[in-house]
Amino acid sequence: MNLTNNLLLELEELDDESAVYHTPVLVTDVINYLRPAPGMLILDGTLGGGGHSERFLQSGASVLALDQDPHAIAYAKARLAAYGERFCAIQANFRQIQNALDPLNIQKLSGALLDIGVSSRQLDNPDRGFAILKDGPLDMRMDPSLPISAADIVNKYSLSDLARIFREYGQEARALHIASRIVALRVRRPFLTTFDLVAVIESVVPKHGPRQPATRVFQALRIAVNDELGALEDGLISISKRLARGARFAVITFHSLEDRMVKYFFRDHSREWIDRPEWPAPRPNPNRIFRLLTPHPVEASREEIQNNPRARSAKLRVAERL
């Protein structure tokens, strides 16, 4: 099915009240921290189905929303069309925030949100290649125009590069064993579908407990295909530069690699003093631009996890621009 047909199907689902593109996580906490109100312009850097944006709009704020997935942009534009000019959605990666703001002559933002991860619609749609339990093309590109798919990595990357990706991005203990098995089998025929990859992983990693053996490798490939950690690093820096004084920056992550990046970025840019063993006394931090609002990450309540199990690994960190 081509991209146009996929978009039409998703837009048709807007007529079905039971259709849910994605259930946003930690919505109440995000609203409490960002405090959207009339006159504010908030960046939703990861639009998805528009759940967080809708709450910002309901509070009277205007929203500039970005997403690299054209399906998400089309869906949310139709869903939130009633808000008129207060809602603007652009297909772009949040790491390129300047390319979105500059043509609109927007200098500063009143707040910003990044909800890092994969939407429920992406996970549940086998055509996107993110799903472990549904067979589909081995793709995993959030932006379909990206040049490299998961199949390209699995079929072309060297043994050492595959093992490194699985180990560093997926924290997979059997990274080398899985990579070796992939390299041995791909000479017979290429890996083309998600089930092709799941089968070889399950032949190496036995299943223990509820976690699927392929979970960590799929995470690693998704991160590599979309350069998620590089995008997050760039986005934290570029978005911070466009925040007005007093604007709040909220970031939701779903695994330790992302959370660690956000934690250290906010820490390094919020502490008032820095010290080193060779210095006679602490010195003012020249990189301080934030006041940290969450010394510890905010996590989903038991009730929210019961209603939305995918919220169980979500962590929210927030800082305020000085």
* pLDDT in 10s for each residue of the chain, 322 residues: 444 445 545 455 444 443 456 689 999 999 999 999 999 999 999 999 999 999 999 999 999 999 999 999 999 999 999 999 999 999 999 999 999 999 999 999 999 999 997 877 787 788 999 999 999 999 999 999 999 999 999 999 999 999 999 999 999 999 999 999 999 999 999 999 999 999 999 999 988 877 899 999 999 999 999 999 999 999 999 999 999 999 999 999 999 999 999 999 999 999 999 999 999 999 999 999 999 999 999 999 999 999 999 899 999 999 999 9
3-state secondary structure at position 85: helix
Q: Which pLDDT does position 286 carry in this prediction?
A: 96
CATH of domain 128-226: 1.10.150.170
Place of tokens 């906010």: 266
**What is the structure's pLDDT at 203?**
94
Domain residues of the chain, as ranges? 3-121+229-321, 128-226
Integer CA distances (angstroms), 145 to 3, 37, 139, 140, in order: 11, 36, 11, 11
Residues 6+ apart with CB under 8 A from 36: 42, 55, 56, 59, 60, 61, 111
Q: If DSSP codes are grouped into helix, strand and coil, which group holds residue 66?
A: strand
Angle, in degrees to the nearest 10, between helices 215-226 and 159-170 = 100
What local confidence, expressed as pLDDT, does residue 79 receive? 95
Mention every residue, 6+ apart, whose C-beta is less than 8 A from residue 316. 26, 29, 30, 33, 250, 251, 252, 294, 297, 298, 299
Task: Write the CATH number of the domain with boundaries 3-121+229-321.
Answer: 3.40.50.150
The angle at the Cα of 226, spanning 64 to 263, to the nearest 5 degrees, equals 70
Residue keyed to tokens 């820490």: 267
Identify the pLDDT of residue 20: 55
Predicted pLDDT of residue 2: 45
This prediction has a pTM of: 0.91
State residue 119's pLDDT score.
78
- Which residues, in sequence order, are CB contacts of 96 under 8 Å at separation 6+? 238
CB atoms within 10 A of CB 212: 16
